[in-house]
Amino acid sequence: MALQLSLKANGSDLLKVVWSETNTPFLPYSVSRSAMAAASEAVRDVLNAITAGNMRQQGFSYIQMWPELSAACADLKTNLFRVCDGSNTAASDVQDLLADAKDRPQLTIISDASVHVPWSFVLRRDDAVPGMASGHISDFDEFWGSTFKVVTRFNASPPLRRPVRPRTTFCLLNALNRKYLLSAEPFLTSSQQRWIQAALGEIQGAVDYGADYATDWTTCRAKWLDMADKDSIFHIFAHSDGENLFLSDEEEPGFDAFKHKLNASRFATAFKKTVNAKSATICFLNGCRTSGALSTNSFLAVTSGIGFQGFIGSEAQVSNHFAAEYGIEFMHRMLEGGASIQEAFESLRTELFPLSLMYSCYAHPHYRIEIPVDHSDAFDYQHEPVNPGDAIRADA
156-214 tens-digit pLDDT = 666 788 899 998 888 899 999 999 888 889 999 888 888 888 777 776 544 555 578 89
Question: Widest CA span of the chain, in angstroms?
Answer: 61
Per DSSP, what are the bridge partners of residue 283? 234, 311
348 and 326 in contact (C-beta within 8 Å)?
yes
Decide if 176 is inside a domain.
yes
227 and 269 in contact (C-beta within 8 Å)?
no
The 10s digit of each residue's pLDDT in 368-380 is 998 866 654 444 4
Could you tell me if 118 and 234 lie in one domain? Answer: no
The 10s digit of each residue's pLDDT in 353-366 is 999 999 988 888 99
Could you tell me if 121 and 177 lie in one domain? Answer: no
Decide if 130 is inside a domain.
yes
* Structural domain count, the chain: 2
19 and 90 in contact (C-beta within 8 Å)?
yes
Tell me the CATH number at 240.
Answer: 3.40.50.1460
Question: How far, rounded to the nearest angstrom, does the alpha carbon of residue 105 sit from its chain's CA centroid?
Answer: 19
Q: How far apart are CA 322 and CA 351, in angstroms?
A: 13
**Which contiguous run of DSSP H or E holds residue 362?**
strand 359-363
pLDDT score of 161: 83
Could you tell me if 173 and 238 lie in one domain? Answer: yes
Could you tell me if 147 and 179 lie in one domain? Answer: no
Residue 378 CB burial class (10 angstroms; 0-12, 13-18, ≥19):
middle
Could you tell me if 186 and 222 lie in one domain? Answer: yes
Rounded alpha-carbon distances, angstroms, from residue 295 to 202, 224, 291, 384: 38, 25, 11, 38
**Would you call 179 helix, strand, or coil by DSSP?**
helix
Could you tell me if 171 and 130 lie in one domain? Answer: no
Could you tell me if 263 and 237 lie in one domain? Answer: yes
Arithmetic mean of pLDDT over the chain? 85
- Say what the pTM is: 0.87
Could you tell me if 258 and 340 lie in one domain? Answer: yes
Could you tell me if 85 and 172 lie in one domain? Answer: no
Residues spanned by the domain of 281: 164-369
